[in-house]
Amino acid sequence: MKYTAPTKEGYFGKFGGKFVPEILIPALEELEIAYEESLNDPLFQKEYHDLLKEYVGRPTKLTYANRLTDHYGKGKIYFKREDLCHTGAHKINNAIGQLLLARNMGKTRIIAETGAGQHGVATATACAKFGFDCVIYMGAEDMERQKLNVDRMRLLGAEVRSVTSGSQTLKDATNEAIRDWVTNVENTFYIIGSVVGPHPYPVMTRNFHRVIGEETKEQLKHAEGRLPDYLVACVGGGSNAIGFFYPFIENEDVKMIGIEAAGLGADTDQTAATLTIGTPGVLHGSLSYLLHDTEGQVQLAHSISAGLDYPGIGPEHSHLFDTKRVHYFGVTDQQAMDAVKRVSETEGIIPAIETAHAFAYLETLMPLTQKDEIVVVNCSGRGDKDMKTISEWFDS
């Protein structure tokens, strides 16, 4: 079936839209125009793809995970190696794309929010490469658990502003970034790090990451001569998953699975499993599934992974959930940490804790697969940044 979302108003089914104060509407309109122009601008496209190749290191590899495959004794597991991107995660595909847009729009100052710090590092990196002023908003709690990334951002020349309101995590960092944007809208470009926010951010960010799925399709065709049977990716806001899934949406035989962070369990109040237990609501400029109470107050999410610790999710995921094109499941902190260890020991790859949520689901999926079914997991980031959390988890 032909997939054309979003509409020109930015709706994926009933999700998306532009729920922002009047002050930001002109900025979004300006961005929409610049983004539309960039799609048909051969110079922009060449510069973007050259940077992905020469600076980010794309295409990233597709690695056959033979020992993990043997461990399950069924199916055939491949990893799409976004952990090999410069800066250690997929986030830089989007940071570079949005930065080029900002430059072409004549903006001089860049702001971003970050949870795990991977988007912050990617943005700080792009700003260093192009000589832009850069302010990163990060929750105080996240600055603690992702200290390595804070140090990296500072070394790259970015100013990291600690956010102490609310839960002191990604949600509140995003609020502060939006407040900065409202105040400095004339000269400032807000590089949003996931497929969330008001239109056109969700579609734009998706399209800067679709290279992940496009490469996977090509590489798997070369390796196996066919399409995969399953794609598995972790979902917080959902950028790596959308970039990975999108090029396969019209291939109806490809089953796609998004893994949310269930924290201590989706049946507890310490969870970030937005699709599993949330209901539609508006946060950070778009209508999507949301964790909120009966009064519409947004609830604090919990996950051991700072990158998935978010009470919302991108509107396109809500649409793919409602239409059942993608199936979503939750994985707990414990299951994710077990997967960190398993993948490290069997494949020699230390995944980010975010990424490990996708790997954890293989425990459920693999016993259900047929012998030669191909499962590709998006290995969205590497785990160096998480060493403190990982060591503490296994030492205690």
Partner 1 sequence: MVITQHKSRVSAVFERRKDNSKIMSLFITAGYPNLDATVDLILGFEKNGADIIELGMPFSDPLADGPTIQYASNMAISNGITMKKIFEMVREVRKSSDIPIILMGYINPVMRYGLNAFCKDAAECGADGLILPDLPPEESSYIAEEAKSNKLDMIYLVAPNSTDERMKKVDELSSGFVYCVSVTGVTGARKGEEVAKSVEKFIGRVNKHVTKNPRLVGFGIKNHEDAVIIAKDVDGFIVGSALIDNIRNNYPNNNWIENVFSFVNELKYGNKKN
Q: Which residues bind partner 1 (CB under 8 A)?
A: 9, 17-23, 25-27, 165-166, 171, 175, 178-179, 182-183, 185-186, 279-285, 290, 292, 294-298
Q: Closest separation between CB of residue 284 and partner 1, Å? A: 7
3-state secondary structure the chain: CCCCCCCCCCEECCEECCCCCHHHHHHHHHHHHHHHHHHCCHHHHHHHHHHHHHHHCCCCCEEECHHHHHHHCCCEEEEECHHHCCCCECHHHHHHHHHHHHHHCCCCEEEEEECCCHHHHHHHHHHHHHCCEEEEEEEHHHHHHCHHHHHHHHHCCCEEEEECCCCCCHHHHHHHHHHHHHHCCCCEEECCCCCCCCCCHHHHHHHHHCHHHHHHHHHHHHHHCCCCCEEEEECCCCHHHHHHHHHHCCCCCCEEEEEEEEECCCCCCCCCCHHHHCEEEEECCEEEEECECCCCCECCCCCCCCCCCCCECCHHHHHHHHCCCEEEEEEEHHHHHHHHHHHHHHHCCCECHHHHHHHHCHHHHHHHCCCCCEEEEECCEECHHHHHHHHHHHHC
Q: Closest separation between CB of residue 297 and partner 1, Å? A: 4
Question: With respect to partner 1, which residue has the nearer C-beta, 9 or 54?
Answer: 9
Q: Closest separation between CB of residue 160 and partner 1, Å? A: 20
Question: With respect to partner 1, which residue has the nearer C-beta, 135 or 298?
Answer: 298
Q: Closest separation between CB of residue 11 and partner 1, Å? A: 10
Question: With respect to partner 1, which residue has the nearer C-beta, 29 or 70?
Answer: 29
Question: With respect to partner 1, which residue has the nearer C-beta, 165 or 391?
Answer: 165
Tokens of 341: 């260890």
Question: With respect to partner 1, which residue has the nearer C-beta, 284 or 317?
Answer: 284
Q: Closest separation between CB of residue 54 and partner 1, Å? A: 38
Q: Closest separation between CB of residue 20 and partner 1, Å? A: 6
| Torsion sign over Cα 18, 21, 23, 24 | negative
Question: Do you find a cis peptide bond into 228, omega within 30 degrees of 0?
Answer: no
Q: Closest separation between CB of residue 185 and partner 1, Å? A: 6
Question: With respect to partner 1, which residue has the nearer C-beta, 175 or 207?
Answer: 175
Contacts of 55 (CB under 8 A, 6+ apart): 86, 96, 129
Question: With respect to partner 1, which residue has the nearer C-beta, 28 or 233?
Answer: 28
Catalytic residues: 91, 113, 380
